[in-house]
Structure 1
Amino acid sequence: MLRATFLLALGLSACQPDETISGYAGTDREWRLVEAVGQPITQRITLTFPEEGEIAGHAPCNAYTARQTLPYPWFKIEGLAATRAACPELELEGTYFAMLMSMSLSEVAGDTLILSNEAGMQLVYRAAPD
């Protein structure tokens, strides 16, 4: 009986929807940063949610990954890791990473994703065309 109860609980937990941002933003979409703190962004900076609790993307110089396990709409990344290529836009990349790590809320509306924090800063992304 105990084994049957455990298997039932395990099966039910596997059916639970993804409550992190990836469940709302989609694991198959690439988001491109179009605005940061009210300023347009022309460099290619992306964000994806490859699976529940994970983020990944490309900053101006390097690919990055991190964990994000809070339920939507809350947002907090941990364990940010990036490759270590140098490029002329490395300072911009550092600024982007600092802003990304300071975000605490997320909002997905159609093809727009907005990350924001209590200080009023926003990162605005648009879904990349298929």
Structure 2
Amino acid sequence: MFKFIPLLILAALTNLCSRNETAWAYGGADRLWDLQEINGVPFPATTTLSFLDAETIAIQGPCNRITASNTVPYPWVTLTIISSTKMFCPDLQYEKSLTNALIRTTIIEILDDVMILSNTENLNMVFIAAD
């Protein structure tokens, strides 16, 4: 009987190591997040963010849909753009500022219906859950 204990311990450790530690597991999943403001200024164009899975984030900007990956553990975030559509619209200037802000984020906080993407250089993006 005691010879099975090491196998049980190994199985438990393997399960803990494979657990998702990204923002998806800490309240980000299964919600649509509406961008409200960047650095205290209301964002003038409709923008939403959603977590497609543990490592993939979809952003519907004012003009284009952006897909990004995040593989670092919560509360850290490093968004790497995977793909983006290339549509033109009158709000393209806002989308450029949005994309620049997203790739500069390094910290994510999810507090109930509020999600904040920020960095240590005074960037602060506030999202509110749409559901």
If the length of structure 2 is used for normalisation, what is the TM-score?
A: 0.85
Q: Deviations over 1:65-121 (max 9, x none)?
A: 011000000011113421011001111101100001000001000000001111111
Q: Following superposition of structure 1 onto structure 2, how do residues 2-13 of structure 1 map, counting pairs within 5 Å?
A: 12-13=14-15
Q: Aligned with 1:65: secondary structure? A: strand
CA RMSD of aligned residues (A): 2.1
Please point out which of 102, 121, 124 is paired with 2:123.
121
Give the aligned partner of residue 46 of structure 2.
Answer: 44
Q: State yes or no: 1:82 paired with 2:84.
A: yes
Identity rate, percent? 36
Equivalent residues of 1:33, 1:45 under 8 A apart: yes
Q: 2:65 aligns with which of 63, 66, 70?
A: 63
In 2, Cα distance between the equivalents of 1:14 and 1:108? 22
Task: Give the structure-1-normalised TM-score.
Answer: 0.85
- 1:26 matched to 2:12? The reply is no
Quote the Cα distance in structure 2 between the aligned partners of 1:114 and 1:80: 22
Q: Which amino acid aligns with 1:41?
A: F
Show structure 1 runs of 4+ deviating over 4 A: none
Listed as ranges, the gaps of 5+ residues in structure 2 are 1-6
> Computing the radius of gyration over CA atoms, which structure comes out larger, 1 or 2?
2
What is aligned with 2:19?
17
**8 Å contact from structure 1 (residues 25, 113) kept in 2:** no
Cross-structure match for 1:111: 113
Residue-pair matches, total: 123
State the alpha-carbon separation in 1 of the partners of residues 33 and 44 from structure 2. Answer: 14
Per the TM alignment, residue 14 of structure 1 is displaced from its structure 2 partner at its CA by 8.7
Unpaired segments ≥5 residues, structure 1 = none
Q: Secondary structure at the match of 1:93?
A: helix
Counterpart amino acid of residue 85 in structure 2: T
State the one-letter code of the partner of 2:86: R
Measure how far apart 1:15 and its partner are.
8.7
The answer as to whether partners of 2:28 and 2:110 remain within 8 angstroms in 1 is: no
Instruction: Return closer, same or farther for 1:90/1:73 CA change in 2, 3 Å cut-off.
Output: same
- CA-CA distance at 1:17 after TM superposition: 3.3
